Structure 1
Amino acid sequence: MNRKEANQPSPISRRLFFSYAGTSALTATLVLSGCKDDESGMPVDMGVDLGSGDIGVLNYAYALEQLEAAFYTQVIQTKYSGITAEEEQILTDLRDHEVAHRDFFKAALGSAAIANLEVDFSKVDFTNRTSVLSTAKTFEDLGVSAYNGAGQLLTDPNLLLIAGKIVSVEARHAAAIRSLINPKSADFSGDDVVDTNGLDGQMLPDKVLMLASPFVKTKINASNLPTP
């Protein structure tokens, strides 16, 4: 099956987005990076401002997809020692999905999209299977919780529909990674992420960004995001 290159936008994703979500929500203008003066009059770097309202939530999702796309792109570029054909296929599929999600949000946000984030994978040993898969597990579990938590912050039901379609894919990714780590166990839906009611957990942006911060050099300002 032919796949898109990692840096190639996905026209199908763009068409799907605009067919479900009205353009009115996508025309807002954001200040992408902000600063203010402290008491001494010196400017204080407030980081990249995600923005407010639905646009801010979309930029929040875009930031997370940038991180995941960059990670899996590196995984495939520098494959770990002993990687099997099945593992390479799964990780390549995950890369393609995350790149499609990233390009999807970038195209949908247009001029309101935040700039490219600078990532930091210095704590990941891309030559080591355990290091790669444990990091992938962290990202995928975090992604599911992030989308679950962000859904309640959206006001446009069309955007909520899109978020639901993406989080279901992220959940498939999380299960696939867990199955690679423990192929003979039922850990694909472990009790560390699924509660006794059979429901996945959720996290709000402040906690998600705190957990993701070791992998992102760019300072992110989420102070204007909506709250529950």
Structure 2
Amino acid sequence: MKKQQEEVSLGMLPGQLEPVRVGRRLFLRYAGAFATGGAILASCKNGEENPTTVMAPVDLGSGDVSILNYAYALEQLEAAFYTQVIATPYSGMTDAEKTLLTDIRNHEIIHREFFKAALGANAIAALTPNFTTITFTDRSSVLNTAKAFEDLGVSAYNGAGSLIKDVNYLALAGKIVSVEARHAAAIRDLLNPKSADFAGDDIVAPATGLDKADAPSVVLPIAQTYVKTQITATNLPK
């Protein structure tokens, strides 16, 4: 089978001029929670050009701005992936699978927009995905990629939590990572139904019962393989 290699703007369906619109009321409710923080972050610009006008490369910035941009980049990647999955369903996708994957797509789009609203003028530019290694017509290719993305996302949030200074952002990140963990479990169950793999030893340490936590220095190189836009993160908190 030929791999689907269409380039899709993150969060956009092929041929569309506008982003996918999902849960407007829900988005507006959560976006309001970011308003105060977004205003504070915007004040940090010091007259710089709005980075959303810069296509590539992009730098995540420093402090809480950099961590929110880090999460924003990952959410852009996931939203773009699931948007493509639903736009070009793999062979044999069942109605139940499409419903689940559509729900995940919608969540990722909302998460992406949360961070965009919080960051305001500090948000990095829209990233360009690189999905040439994924065969979107093949169930195994899609679901195994989804598994990798979800596991990576959970470990990324876990690893970055201690770097966030603002307790309000930390609380919101905690709510988002819990949703990402639900995604990860659901995808694993699609691949291996009714097994213990939904919380396998490769992601939950048997001795502690805790999920993996990876530093940005581990996560970003993996994510970069799926993004054409060069991401730099030299000023991330340690």
Q: Is TM > 0.5 for Structure 1 vs Structure 2?
A: yes
Per the TM alignment, residue 16 of structure 1 is displaced from its structure 2 partner at its CA by 2.6
Cα contact 2:65–2:119 (8 A) shared by 1:
yes
Cα contact 2:204–2:211 (8 A) shared by 1:
yes
**Residue of structure 1 equivalent to 2:172:** 162
**Residue of structure 1 equivalent to 2:228:** 217
Matching of residues 4-83 of structure 1 within 5 Å: 7-8=20-21, 10=24, 12-19=26-33, 22-23=36-37, 25-27=40-42, 28-29=44-45, 32=51, 47-83=57-93
**Residue of structure 2 equivalent to 1:181:** 191
Q: Provide Cα deviations, 1:93-118, integer angstroms capped at 9, x if missing partner.
A: 00000001011111121111000001
**Residue of structure 1 equivalent to 2:97:** 87
Q: Residue 103 of structure 1 aligns to a residue in which SS?
A: helix
Higher strand share: 1
Total equivalences in the alignment = 211
Letter in 1 for 2:222: L
Cα contact 1:195–1:201 (8 A) shared by 2:
yes
Letter in 1 for 2:62: S
Cα contact 1:6–1:73 (8 A) shared by 2:
no
| 1:198 and 2:212 matched | no
**Residue of structure 1 equivalent to 2:13:** none
Identity %: 59
Cα contact 2:35–2:118 (8 A) shared by 1:
no
Q: Residue 215 of structure 1 aligns to a residue in which SS?
A: coil
Q: For the residues of structure 1 that align with 2:225 and 2:217, how far apart are their CA atoms? A: 14
* TM-score, normalised with respect to structure 2: 0.83
**Equivalent residue for 2:125, pick from 93, 105, 115:** 115
Letter in 2 for 1:217: K
Deviates more, 1:20-29 or 1:113-122: 20-29
Give unpaired runs (5+ residues) of structure 1. 34-45
Cα contact 2:154–2:181 (8 A) shared by 1:
yes
Letter in 2 for 1:190: G
What's the RMSD between the two structures over aligned residues? 1.9
| 1:139 and 2:149 matched | yes
Q: Identify if the C-alpha distance between structure 1 residues 57 and 20 changes in structure 2 by more than 3 Å, giving closer, same or farther.
A: same
Q: For the residues of structure 2 that align with 1:107 and 1:93, how far apart are their CA atoms? A: 21
Per the TM alignment, residue 15 of structure 1 is displaced from its structure 2 partner at its CA by 3.5
Letter in 2 for 1:214: T
Cα contact 2:35–2:117 (8 A) shared by 1:
no
Q: For the residues of structure 2 that align with 1:145 and 1:25, how far apart are their CA atoms? A: 27
Letter in 1 for 2:127: L
